[in-house]
Amino acid sequence: MKRTILFLLVCFPLLVIYGKKANVKENIADHIQYMLDERQFVNYQKAVLFFAPANDDCTDAISLMVNPDLDCGQKLSVDFTGATASGKAVPFCSAVGSSPKDLWFEFTATSDKHILSISSEKNMPATLYGALYDRDCSAINATASQCFSLTAAVKKITLDKLKPGKKYYIRLMSGETTPTTTLVLCLGTVPPPIKVSPSGEMYTVEELVKDVLVKSGCDLVSNVRYQVQDGSPQYNTYNTLGYFHKNGSDFPYEEGIVLATGSARYIAGPYDGGGGVREKVFPLWNGDPDLNAVIDSVGGRTGGKFITQLFFDFIPVKDSLKFEYLFASESWQQGCWGHCEGAALFAAWLTDTTTGIGENLAVIPGTTTPIALNTIMDLSKSNVTGIGCQNINEEYFWKAYNGNGVDAPFASAAPINYASMTTAMQSETVKVIPGRKYRIRLAVMDFCTTPSHTSAVFFNARSFDLGNPEIGEDMSIEGGNALCPGDTIELGQNLEAKDYLIQWTKNGKDLIGENGETLKVSEPGLYGARLKYKYVVCDVELDPVKVEFYDEIIIEKQPSDIEQCRSSTSATTIN
Q: Lowest-confidence range among 297-306, 310-319, 426-435?
A: 297-306
CATH fold for domain 58-189: Jelly Rolls (2.60.120)
Q: Max CA-CA distance within the chain?
A: 106
| pLDDT above 80: residue 88 | yes
| pLDDT above 70: residue 8 | no
Alpha carbon distance 144, 521 (integer Å): 74
pLDDT in tens, 449-497: 777 789 999 999 999 999 878 888 999 999 999 999 999 999 988 888 8
The pTM of the full predicted model, rounded to 2 decimals, is: 0.79
Domain range summary for the chain, segments of one domain joined by +:
2-47, 58-189, 195-467, 489-547
Alpha carbon distance 241, 257 (integer Å): 7
pLDDT in tens, 187-238: 999 999 999 999 999 999 999 999 999 999 889 999 999 999 887 887 878 8
Q: Lowest-confidence range among 26-40, 190-204, 368-382, 431-445?
A: 26-40
Alpha carbon distance 525, 494 (integer Å): 20
Alpha carbon distance 248, 246 (integer Å): 6
**Residue 13, SS3?**
helix
**Residue 211, SS3?**
helix
Percent of the chain with pLDDT over 70: 85
| pLDDT above 90: residue 342 | no
How many Å is the Cα radius of gyration of the chain?
A: 34
pLDDT in tens, 404-413: 655 678 888 9
DSSP assignment of 453-507 equals --EEEEEETT-EEEE-------B-TTTT-PBPTT--EEE-TT--TTTEEEEEEET
